[in-house]
Structure formats: C-alpha cells, structure tokens
Amino acid sequence: MMRLEGPKKTVAQTVALVLFMGGLAWASVPFYDWFCRVTGFGGTTNVASADGASEILDQTIKIRFDASLERDMPWEFKPVERQMELRIGETGLAFYEAYNPTDRPVAGSASYNVAPYQAGGFFSKIQCFCFEEQVLQPGERVLMPVTFFVDPEIVTDRDAKYVHSITLSYTFYEIDLPEGYAALDTTAGTNLN
C-alpha cells in the first residue's frame, strides 16, 4: 500500500473531503424531503390512500386556502374557495383555478406547505394536482382539485391539539415543457382548447 506524505496527502484529503461534502449535499434534498414527509416537519403533508380517515369526529376545523406564483411564472392562480370548515376526519374537496394568459404553452409545478407546521403531519392529501406537472395551453383555464382530510389523531397530539385552523398553501413555478409540447410551441397562435 502506498503511503502519501506532504502535499500529496493534503491534496488527497482535500479531494476526499470535497467528494464527501458533495455526496452529502446531493443526498440532503431527498433525505430532507423524506424526513419532512414522515414527520410533518416544515408543514409537509401526508399522502393518504383513497379511503380517507377511518373515523370522523364531531369536532370541526377550518381549512384556509392560499395561492401564489413564483416571480417569473406567467399564470394567474387562485383558490376557488378561500376557506371551508370540516369535521376532523371528513374528506374535503377544494379547487384551485389556473389560467394561462400568454400566447404559448406554459408548464408548471406546484410546491406546497401547511401552516401551522405542527399540523403538517395530520393533514393528509388523497389526490392533488401538485403530484404531477401541469401544462396549460395559451388562454386555457382549468380547475385543479385537491382531496384531503385532517387525521383525527390531531386532537390527541401534544402540540397540534390546539390547532383550530390550517392553511394549505401552493406556489406554482414554471418548468420546462415536456418533450412532446416543445413541437406544439412552435405553432404560435394555435389554441388547443
């Protein structure tokens, strides 16, 4: 085995440190995402099966809906209904409206969070437009559903049991068009609605 000394040892240690730190940086995003989904930390919601909650309580909770756009996203985006009140465990259905006022197809993806953060682990989405990219043609307006429930275990959690309203926020940002849409974009002025 070759033993490194002096400047060669320093270079080898530096390269090893850079590779190690790069690996940590690469793994940190998926690990943090997994951690947030498991714990609800940072307002990340759960993803539930289509069955919804197994129990519905008499106690109610208010759900508020918020929408925003990343700075350069050209769409218009808003919740259809700003607030609803549901029994805890009851399945809710809300809609967001998106509109592309441009003369070109625009693809978007939504990020989301829940506030207050301690409620994130108890807010479960069954179906959501945020699970996939969205492409709107020029002038197209769509309603996008989100189906959800609040887990009844929220009422026994040490911190979350004091939560009486939850805000579900979405932010849409522009992404590259999928491969098949790039060709459609060259036919300017064609509305495919």
pLDDT of residue 46: 54
Tens of pLDDT, residues 147-187: 999 999 999 999 999 999 999 999 999 999 998 775 555 44
Residue 119, CA distances (Å) to 45, 62, 150, 187 in order: 8, 12, 9, 46
CATH architecture, range 43-185: Sandwich (2.60)
Tens of pLDDT, residues 84-119: 999 999 999 999 999 999 999 999 999 999 999 999
pLDDT of residue 33: 47
Residue 24 corresponds to which tokens in the numbers above? 């940590």
Residue with tokens 């070759």, as numbered in its chain: 2
CA–CA dist 146, 113 (Å, integer):
13
- Sequence-separated (6 or more) residues with CB below 8 Å from residue 186: none
Q: Is the pTM of this model over 0.75?
A: no
Share of the chain above pLDDT 70, in %: 76
Per-domain residue ranges for the chain? 1-39, 43-185
